[in-house]
Chains A and B, each alone.
Chain A
């Protein structure tokens, strides 16, 4: 597309016979093409990663990472193995996984390949397959571009396109507006259908990676069995569909299709070692 734009620009310049026309045409053509791309939801990879990093920095401004390199090595290795099972399995997508130092029970994702799980949720998990299920659910949001879609919706399309085109270091104000829209997604949640879709994709990614896909159902069962008045659950319950509904829908969607991939947990020790570190 860009090559074509340049050719068209050159042709126009040749006809006009001056360099000023060349610059003008190139500029407007390139911007026009970029806008067209964003309008179809096809945000360029670099822009998506940049936006994801900004949102991650925002999230990390509210809650810091657990200060433990071993914990992060573990979740990043597991996460990268899960990423191998997706359409974004190459080095161009920088999958990064963080454990957030809070008792709050939740998990988050940001565009580009950023995934977070809270310490509060991690310590409720029983095995590596359950952690894989949680991470894979969040990866589902990234792959389906749920945050990008929601930001696009909340900033009403055209504004979003303009903001993205301008969102370089030179235009912090535009980025701030985008950030505001993004951070609201963490505090108010995505569409319910996006959550159900991430559940359906998450179990498949986990199964592809050799994990028991039913482990995500086990996590949801654990969450559903907790005291709903617990303040550490307030944020998650207010930003997700009712857990019972998620369980029922996921169970129906999986019906018979993934039964043969159910398997016992593979490596209990390495998971428990990390979980114990988070408990201390």
Chain B
């Protein structure tokens, strides 16, 4: 692993001094990640983490997740999609240095069922879905051979709702409109 830069070390120490967040939960890395000393791409890279590395999930800020690497005192920030909640599946940890999707998928699906058992996620149904794989799938051939179904289209049209109904829906969940420019800077 990389040498810990002095600056990062101080930040890590400071972070440790602040104590663990009460929301700490076990998690693991699902893709090659850079552990940074701040929740920003300008933050210094303190360590690189391989898929399968165990971490403790601390605070989430924007697209950043603060983690502490299991068995070390390294604490820093990774992109939130690079980690997942749950226990590291012990059987596949040894294989995960090689970032192949197949290996990763084993890792994540095992972890998902584990987190379901632990009550850590809302994914109890995921396993049921995989159990029915292939029964009612949709293939490219079926799409190209499809005959238009006007009755189904009429049903779809009836399901549409008014803009006003959409606003009511948002209001009931206290969702508020926000002014956000497109990523190309357009409003």
A residues with CB within 8 A of B: 53-54, 56-65, 69, 72-73, 76-85, 89-91, 94-98, 100-104, 106, 114, 118, 120, 123-124, 126-128, 179-180, 183-184, 186-188, 200-201, 203-204, 207-211, 214, 217-218, 220-221, 224-232, 234-235, 238, 244, 247, 251, 253-262, 266-268, 270, 272, 275-276, 279
The distance in angstroms between the C-alpha atoms of A64 and B155, with both chains bound, is 10
Query: Which chain B residues lie closer than 8 Å to A123 at the CB level?
Result: 125-126, 128-129
The distance in angstroms between the C-alpha atoms of A57 and B146, with both chains bound, is 9
User: Which residue of chain A lies nearest to B143 when distances are taken between CB atoms in the complex?
Assistant: A187
User: Which residue of chain A lies nearest to B101 when distances are taken between CB atoms in the complex?
Assistant: A228
4 nearest A-B residue pairs (beta carbon): A259-B62, A225-B108, A80-B166, A210-B175
The distance in angstroms between the C-alpha atoms of A63 and B170, with both chains bound, is 30
Q: Give the Cβ gap from A74 to chain B, nearest Cβ, in Å.
A: 8
Does B21 lie at the interface of the complex (its beta carbon under 8 Å from any beta carbon of A)?
no
Query: Which chain A residues lie closer than 8 Å to B183 at the CB level?
Result: 200, 203-204, 253-254, 257
B104 touching A225 by the CB < 8 A rule? Answer: yes
Known A209-B170, A210-B175, A257-B183: A101·B136 in contact at CB below 8 Å: yes
A225 touching B177 by the CB < 8 A rule? Answer: no
Q: Give the Cβ gap from A180 to chain B, nearest Cβ, in Å.
A: 8
The count of residues in chain B whose C-beta lies closer than 8 Å to any C-beta of chain A is: 79
The distance in angstroms between the C-alpha atoms of A232 and B81, with both chains bound, is 23
B residues with CB within 8 A of A: 30-31, 39-41, 60-64, 79-81, 84, 101-102, 104-109, 112, 121-123, 125-126, 128-130, 132-150, 152-153, 155-157, 159-163, 165-170, 172-184
The distance in angstroms between the C-alpha atoms of A72 and B157, with both chains bound, is 11
The distance in angstroms between the C-alpha atoms of A247 and B63, with both chains bound, is 12
